[in-house]
Amino acid sequence: MLKRLFFATFAVLVLSSCGYNSIQKNEEAVFAAWGDVEATYQRRADLIPNLVETVKAYAAHEKDTFTEVTNARAKVGQMTISADKLGDAATMQQFQQAQGALSGALSRLLVVAERYPDLKANQNFLDLQNQLEGSENRINVARQRYNDAVQIFNTSIRTFPGNLTNQWLLKLERKEPFKADAGAAQAPKVKF
């Protein structure tokens, strides 16, 4: 009877400390960490093109506004009326149209300036730069966490008593840490 109690106690201690549950937990941590890596890549893939288009659209709006003002200003600068043409209705009409075009362009510029005291394209570019940097940092952190989880898992199936549990019961393979491809070492290039 004492032998049975001793054997049962020994079996419970061995089974409770064999690492079966911790190995399973460590493998799930690897899967979760890899999911985070994929999620950060997806975030970058979703976010960056939208940010680039937003910046391009706003920059185009500002560019169009300035182009209109510049063109209207150039037309007004080219349009002069000599004293002998002051009575010519057609010449006066052209002059007024040129002045009206400049006034309209300036009005649009003033509306932009009133709504946005400092023109925002520069700020949009800075925001884009910050988002790019933030995305790359998130990806790097996710990779590091994945590699940490892989290291913990691989250690748990290679050290005693987990190695015996894995060899006899689980038969799990080592997980590979994140190794960047040659092309992945470079951040994506954004072109306008």
Predicted pLDDT at 94: 80
Mean pLDDT of 77-106: 70
Find the helix packing angle between 121-158 and 20-78, rounded to 10°. Answer: 170
Q: Is 159 left (phi over 0), alpha (psi -120 to 50) or beta?
A: beta
Distance CA 108, CA 86 (A): 30
Q: ω into residue 161 within 30 of 0, thus cis?
A: yes
pLDDT tens digits, one per residue of 129-139: 788 788 888 88
Residue with tokens 């952190």: 141
Please report which residue ranges of the chain form alpha helices under DSSP H. Answer: 2-16, 20-78, 89-115, 121-158, 162-165
Distance CA 175, CA 148 (A): 11
pTM of structure: 0.61
